[in-house]
Structure 1
Amino acid sequence: MHVSHDPAAAAAETIGFDQFLAVDIRVGTILEAQPFPEARKPAYRLVIDFGPVIGTKRSSAQITEHYALEDLPGRQVAAVVNFPPRQIGKFMSEVLTLGFPDEAGKVVLFHPSAPVPNGGRLF
């Protein structure tokens, strides 16, 4: 699966509502953010709390351009929580943290505009 980070990319093909519902996107709060020097592209290792149903999950996120490590704990983010885990070097990334590209293609995190309970599902 290739996801374009180009803001001018063509729209994706039309999908059914059931396909959308198959993607489990939840909100969580970053508990820990650590450097990830072994990553091929600059990234951080995150530990995110998705509440009692999903629990705490790990994610590799290429967000080093806009975010300092010390500013990430406590920040709410959205992530796909039902992809299979992905090995990135020696790190197992369990969820896909979501963001949008800025004009230079660097990731800006997607997050709720007001605090919401961890584990809430996007609809």
Structure 2
Amino acid sequence: MATPGVWFVRLLGGVFALAGPVVLVLGVRDLARGESTVGDLPPMPLWFLACAGLLVAVVLATGWRSSGMLRRTWEAGGNLRRAAVLVVTAAVVAFPVLMGLGALTPLVLVWLLGGLCATGLLIDKPSRA
């Protein structure tokens, strides 16, 4: 049974697990066809960015509340765990900001780094409080 507060990280991991192979296959296909271009994202509508900001607020509030996964992991100690928690928090904040700015390359790097750290936190399973 999942501990409380882990559901959103598992949801995030599920999105990475589903989107990752699709993005990889499409990227390899575009490279093979010579159609690959590096550019910026199209402008995002304001309502979309507002919804993304609200989602970020909910995810961070859930993760950092006293029974949340991020808070429990932080309190469990360890420099590597705490660094991963900080990176996940920063990635959750930076992702919609970079999306709003249209910065595609940093967006993908933040996405990958945040997913890697979130996966590490799920695998680590710190002691339960």
Shared fold (TM-score, shorter chain, > 0.5):
no
TM-score (norm 1): 0.23
Q: Return the index of the structure with the highest Cα Rg.
A: 2
Which has a greater percent of strand? 1
Which has a greater percent of helix? 2
